[in-house]
Structure 1
Amino acid sequence: MFEISHATPGDSKEAVGLLREAMGEIAMTLTQESDEERILSALEEYFKNPSTRIGYPRVWLYREKDEILGAINLYLGDEAKRLDEAILESIRNRGKHLEALEVECEEGDLYIDSIAVSPKARGRGIAKKLIEHAYGEARRLGASQLSLVVDCDKIEVKEYYARLGFVTEGEKWLGGHLYYRMKKPLV
């Protein structure tokens, strides 16, 4: 039996460990760090802060028998800039400089910032269940569509989302890397 429920601050190590892999190079931009230990530390700080884009209130966890096997980070496009304020402040407090973070989504979207499944649980449909959950959240929140970005080097990932009903809307540069912007309208 499984459950999908909100994360709590106490889930930070496990949840960030999963989401970090999905973030790829965006995590370096988001933290302005290059050392993996510092990246994880900053991401855990962001996770524990409910006012950030990856704050625990915006992370849902897939659990089986109290074990976290998947995570999805969701937020409304309308909130993106506000959710980045605390991240920018944290970057400044660490002596780094970044004017603004690139907004990956649009108003009206429920944006899938990151989705990850534990390597030991892949191939069991967990990502699909998390996306179905996101679809339900999008409806509940009144979003017009789900959206996400996929690294242009990861064609198999793009094809996976296409099988789930996402369509490619275009390309977007983020952190010096090219991504496909994909959306799934609510019907």
Structure 2
Amino acid sequence: MIQAAAIEDADQVMPLLYAAIGSIAFSLAGTGDEGEALRILNDFYRRPGNRISYTNVLVDKRDGVVAGMLICYPGDEAAALDRPFIERIRREAGRSGHTLDQETKPGDYYLDSLAVHEAYQGQGIAKSLMRAYEARALDRGYGRLALIVEENNAGAHALYEKMGYSPEETLEVSGHRYRRMVKQAGQTSGR
């Protein structure tokens, strides 16, 4: 069942988030240590006002287990949602010049991260989460949907194309190349 995430889902969402964003987790946390990065991101998840806050997360729960998760938010708010990460890195690591690569554009409703637990893959959960994301975008008045996907992730490319997303441009985020894909909200999704 697709629903808004709760603070209590943090320990189940974090491994899925890490699987979805990989090296971006280190950029957000300001550390190259996986355990420390996950601890920092877990703390951010529990607080509103940042990109990975539970307030931006949709989950698919099956018998109390988070089978899949999706993070989404308005592109117009991306800089403000990234500010807490940058301020933490400046404050705690003393890195005054730290920035985060811009993944989204103003006017877009942005799909930041999507992951399905290994035990639940192949059950249509990713498509259901994407449909919920698209409905949320329409409800909030957004006409354009956007996401990025690593260039070499053929499975994700196929899913997004099947859902009606088209490649727009290539960009680099956290040292990796991504393809930005877009779709007009309200366009019919694939099966």
Change (3 A) 1:96 1:123: farther
Q: Residues 93 and 45 of structure 1: is their aligned pair in 2 closer, same or farther, counting only changes over 3 Å?
A: farther
**Aligned length in residues:** 185
Q: Does 1:178 align with 2:177?
A: yes
1:96: Cα distance to partner? 4.8
The one-letter amino acid of 2:87's match is E
Paired with 2:152 and 2:23, the residues of 1 have a C-alpha distance of: 12
TM-score normalised according to structure 1 size: 0.94
Does residue 49 of structure 1 match 2:47? yes
Partner of 1:75: 73
Aligned 1:24-173 pairs, distance under 5 A:
24-97=22-95, 98-173=97-172
Partners of 1:48 and 1:65 lie apart in 2 by 22
Q: What secondary structure, in the 3-state scheme, does the structure 2 residue paired with 1:181 have?
A: strand
Aligned partner letter, 2:34: E
Conserved 8 A contact 1:58-1:75: yes
> Which shifted more, 12-21 or 94-103?
94-103
Q: Is the 8 A contact 1:77 1:111 kept in 2?
A: yes
TM normalised by structure 2 equals 0.92
Structure 2, unaligned stretches of length 5 or more?
Answer: 187-191
Root-mean-square deviation (CA, aligned residues, Å) is: 1.2
Q: Secondary structure in 1 aligned to 2:59? A: strand
Secondary structure of the equivalent of 2:99?
coil
> Sequence identity, in percent?
32
Structure 1: runs of 5+ lacking an equivalent? none
Task: State the 1:20 CA deviation.
Answer: 0.9
2:89–2:98 CA contact under 8 A, matched in 1: no
Q: Aligned partners of 2:91 and 2:11: how far apart in 1?
A: 22
Task: Measure the CA separation in 2 of the matches of 1:9 and 1:87.
Answer: 19
1:82-105 superposed Cα distances (whole Å, 9 cap, x missing partner): 111111122223315253212211
CA contact (8 A) 2:149 2:180 kept: yes
Q: State the Cα distance separating 1:16 from its structure 2 match.
A: 1.3
Would the aligned equivalents of 1:32 and 1:96 in 2 still touch at CA under 8 Å? no
Q: Following superposition, which runs of at least 4 residues in structure 1 exceed 3 angstroms of deviation?
A: none
